Structure 1
Amino acid sequence: MGDATLWVAALTAATAVLASWVTSHGTARAARIQADAAAATVQADRLRAARRSAYVDVIEQAQRMGDLYWKVTDAHGIDDADERLAALLDLRVRLRGEYAVLRQRVWVADLEGPPAVAAAADRLRRSTSEHYRALDAMITGDTDAGQRFADCFAPFWESVVSFVDVARTALHSARL
């Protein structure tokens, strides 16, 4: 009877050690999975925040340029030729500066990705070219340039709206 008790005690001890090892291994694995999931969530949140910031910067800069486009239209309507030329020259300098900022912000949006947003941002950037050409023509006295400038606003604004739509879709997609 003593031998059976020894075997039962040894078997019980071995079972307890094995159960303890399995439990600790499972707990450690579960903790590792939970930590990995938390790290992935934090990384996704950081990426989403960086992208959102980059996209908002592009939108804000496009708005600044749009505001200057309205000022160009107003300046083109000035009756005094010297005053009109001075206003248009000043606005061209200001637009160059704002374009430089837009270009930099488009590069950041391109860096943050995804490719669809980068492409939309670049289309927005390129949509400013015709405005600039028309402004230069206004400065040189081209009589049709004012209308060409006005005609550029709708495509520019459409590129802004398109960028916002693509950026929104990218931010709300399941995969970043």
Structure 2
Amino acid sequence: MGDTGLWIAGLTGATAVLASWVTSRGHTRAARLQAEISASAQEETRQREIRRAAYLAFLEQAHLMGMEYRRTPSLLSLEDQEQLRTRLDEHRARLREVFGPFRHTRQIATVHARSSSVIEACDRVFTASRSLYMALGDIAEGVAGTSAFHTALDQYWTAVDELGEAVRSEES
């Protein structure tokens, strides 16, 4: 009976060690999986915040460009063509200053965009801004009338609104 008791004690001990090892591996695997899921969720949240910040920065720059464009109608009311050209040239120089951050934030927004609809909307805002700037040049040169500015301005604000809609659609 002594040998049997020793045999049973050894088997029980080995079973306990094996059960402990299996349980430990299961806990380790579960902890690793939980850590991976948590890290993935944190990375997704971080990417969403980066994307949102990029979109907001570009929309802010688009509105700053729009504020500059709002100063244009008072210039367009000038009767003297030479004075109009001079003032529009000065105005276009200011627009070029504001354009740098506008272009930069557009590039960042398109890099972080998750959908092609947001990229296309960013591109439309950018193109509309360029058209508006070119219209001012044409007006200064006497090639186009002031209606070209108003048409281009409407297209610009439509493009900005479409960008806002594209961003909202992507975020939902």
Q: Tell me the TM-score normalized by structure 2.
A: 0.89
Task: Determine helix, strand or coil for the equivalent of 2:47.
Answer: helix
Matched residues in 2 for 1:13 and 1:169: separation? Answer: 61
Q: How does 1:9-20 map to 2 (within 5 A)?
A: 9-20=9-20
2:48 maps to amino acid: R
Q: Is the 8 A contact 1:130 1:149 kept in 2?
A: no
Unaligned runs of at least 5 residues, structure 2: none
2:125 maps to amino acid: L
- The CA deviation at 1:86 is 3.3
1:74 maps to amino acid: S
Aligned counterpart, 1:34: 34
Aligned counterpart, 2:84: 84
Unaligned runs of at least 5 residues, structure 1: none
RMSD of the alignment, in Å? 1.8
Task: Determine helix, strand or coil for the equivalent of 1:127.
Answer: helix
Task: Determine helix, strand or coil for the equivalent of 2:71.
Answer: helix
Aligned-pair identity (%)? 35
- The CA deviation at 1:81 is 4.7
1:158 maps to amino acid: T
Q: Is the 8 A contact 1:135 1:145 kept in 2?
A: no
Q: Tell me the TM-score normalized by structure 1.
A: 0.87
Matched residues in 2 for 1:132 and 1:60: separation? Answer: 18
- The CA deviation at 1:7 is 2.2
Q: Is the 8 A contact 2:54 2:109 kept in 1?
A: yes
User: Is residue 125 from structure 1 mapped to residue 126 from structure 2 by the alignment?
Assistant: yes
2:138 maps to amino acid: A
